[in-house]
Structure 1
Amino acid sequence: MSNPELIRIGTRAAPMALAQAEQVAELIRKHSPDTATKIVPCKTQADLWQGDLARLGGKGLFTKEIDHMLQRGSVDIAVHCMKDVPGDKPLPEGLIFAAYLPREDVRDVVLFPEGAEHRALADLPPGATVATSSVRRKAQVLRDRPHLQVERVRGLVGNRVERLDQGKKGWSAMILSLAGLRRLGLEHRAEQILSVDEMIPAVGAGVIGVECRRDDAPVAGLLEQLNHAKTMKELTAERVMLHGLRGRCNSPIAGHCITGPDGQLVLRGMVFTREGAQFVHAQHWGEAGNDPGTLGARVCADLLRQGARELIEGVPR
């Protein structure tokens, strides 16, 4: 089967998303030099709405319009950050994820206003405000440091950093993903890198997924050459857990799967209340066969036995 002559890449119009799309384009050209690529940006509803996404329909709005473009045939593939792909809904009809790129750094980092004397969350005084877009980060910050305030913030990452430096909002710190800062060339702003024990990552953190139409065999065949098997296994375990929990966009859920030196999968999952005061935790290792779906289901079942459903339902929609 010959490779396509042109692949149109659907993506959000945000700078970080465009950087991800260009990364995919470069890989396509590397594996198929005769295939041209064209990036087709789209401003999604989630990009235009600056309020709480839960009020508009959830973080699936980051992907919905691009998926519709793919279903209509306006683009040939869609590039998504997997942490933005909902875990409580099936994929749109006729679409599949044919490739996952090697996972990037999953850690979160703390930024402070330029010229600030603080270098770590532990330096902040009681009542200081930490800005973040994530309910997962908010819950974990308040779990460990209930004396701080956490304010939800949305918008382009570059704009968020500018607002932090301007000081108009009174933010003392901001938490962002390290991988995202790297894509934007802002890694130097990270003052404190939080370990995965200090801040358990989101399900799908650091993973770029490439979606195509199920019946588009030439494109799917090319994308299979880009797929990173290790990342796919780890992501599968995380997303099976998330799907079983039926977590919504406003559910503080964390999940992180790694492959140990012996090749065994290890999945850790947590569910929090919004303020982090209550949480449940489970960690399991892959058994015979090391099936990621089975591992994800085991961790999910353990969390549900501990009361995860009650915690999720207790968070206002």
Structure 2
Amino acid sequence: MSSASDSGHGSADLIRIVSRSSPMALAQVERVRAELAALRPGIRTEVVPVTTSGDRWMGDLSKLGGKGAFTKEVDAALLAGEADLAVHCIKDVPADRPLPAGTVFAAYLKRDDIRDAVIHPEGLTLDEMPAGARIGTSSVRRVAQLAITHPELECVPMRGNANRRLEKLDAGECDALMLAVSGLERIGRTDRISEILPVDTMCPPIGAGVLGLQCREDDTETIEAVAGLGDADVWKEISAERMLLHVLQGHCNSPIAGYAKAERDGRLSLRARVFSPDGKTVLDAHEWAGPLDPATLGTSVAVALLRQGAREVIDTIPH
């Protein structure tokens, strides 16, 4: 592996950002570039695009080894010194295995909207759709919760980036879509939203709405350059959420949902739910902690769910 000096990158005046080539990924990188330009005007950035196996594969993600399919090539570029920074949707970064050795999250950006949106060509809400309407989603989390709230609707598998899914909807492959509000905001398509679901109806995935900046852990210059983009409250929230996922040993097909919330007074809450895919089993835990240790809160909520039988529910799902 080449050192920073012999790649012509001895100073932090240029940061090379590796990115998947999807419109969403590139929009996320542009946000980071803009925030970095405002914070550190002396630093130039350039984008190093990669196509991941997850982008090329349109089948079931679990056959590729889960969500890591979107991060492997990005990690490789970082570790090989071909790039200095990677931008990840934290909800796509597996928590059942740690970050690749030699890399670290240097910052989590301010959190975007964590809710899910419904997109229907005529603007119908879930309650207004006729029985048998086909909802395009491959998320076990969404399928399980829709089975609870709207058992009369049918879920059909739907992969591809958000733009591609909107095309499939317009081509009639489903009657409606569910997508993250934050993702639609990033690609400038909030005009398509028919309904935004409250978190009580549709609990978000762990890490929803958060972008994490990953660096090599020995690259102190890049880490120092981007650390100021981080949000202290989000750091607490994600630390609690990812510890929960780690203790539950959740994988990308796990019907686990939840979110932490840092309050102004320093307290931290974590609400988490585990579902069977048919929505018949719902486990629920919600706890509060002081400002001290988000990881302990994540562990405690995970243990509360394990006491209710979460292990059996998670392990019955193939991955």
Q: Is the 8 A contact 1:97 1:212 kept in 2?
A: yes
Query: Which residue in 2 is equivalent to 1:251?
Result: 254
CA distance in 2: counterparts of 1:306 and 1:313, whole angstroms: 14
What is the one-letter code of the residue matched to 1:160? R
What is the one-letter code of the residue matched to 1:227? G
Write out aligned runs for 1:212-223 (5 A).
212-223=215-226
- Residue 3 and residue 224 in structure 1: after superposition, are their counterparts in 2 closer, same or farther (change >3 A)? farther
**Seq. identity, %:** 47
Write out aligned runs for 1:30-41 (5 A).
30-41=38-49
Write out aligned runs for 1:73-88 (5 A).
73-88=81-96
Q: Is the 8 A contact 2:234 2:262 kept in 1?
A: no
Q: Is the 8 A contact 1:3 1:35 kept in 2?
A: no
SS at match of 1:309: helix
Query: Which residue in 1 is equivalent to 2:6?
Result: none
Write out aligned runs for 1:176-215 (5 A).
176-215=179-218
Query: Which residue in 1 is equivalent to 2:238?
Result: 235
Query: Which residue in 2 is equivalent to 1:29?
Result: 37
Aligned-residue offset at 1:263: 2.4
Q: Is the 8 A contact 1:237 1:296 kept in 2?
A: yes
SS at match of 2:283: strand
What is the one-letter code of the residue matched to 2:56? L
TM-score normalised per structure 1: 0.95
Query: Which residue in 2 is equivalent to 1:142?
Result: 147
Query: Which residue in 2 is equivalent to 1:269?
Result: 272
Write out aligned runs for 1:1-317 (5 A).
4-113=12-121, 116=122, 119-167=124-172, 169=173, 171-287=174-290, 289-317=291-319
CA distance in 2: counterparts of 1:45 and 1:216, whole angstroms: 27
What is the one-letter code of the residue matched to 1:67? D
CA distance in 1: counterparts of 2:138 and 2:30, whole angstroms: 25
Q: Is the 8 A contact 2:274 2:282 kept in 1?
A: yes
Q: Deviations over 1:213-271 (max 9, x none)?
A: 10011111112111111111001100000000001111111010112242211100111
Q: Deviations over 1:80-130 (max 9, x none)?
A: 0000000100110100000110000001000012xx3x5210112222211
CA distance in 1: counterparts of 2:18 and 2:199, whole angstroms: 31
| Higher mean displacement: 254-263 or 181-190 | 254-263
CA distance in 2: counterparts of 1:3 and 1:254, whole angstroms: 41
Query: Which residue in 1 is equivalent to 2:5?
Result: none
Aligned-residue offset at 1:3: 6.2
Give the length in aligned residue pairs.
310
Q: Is the 8 A contact 1:88 1:242 kept in 2?
A: yes
Runs of 4+ in 1 over 2 A off after TM superposition: 260-263
CA distance in 2: counterparts of 1:203 and 1:6, whole angstroms: 32
Q: What residue ranges of structure 2 are gaps of 5+ in the alignment?
A: 1-9
Instruction: Give the root-mean-square deviation of aligned CA atoms.
Output: 1.3
What is the one-letter code of the residue matched to 2:307? R
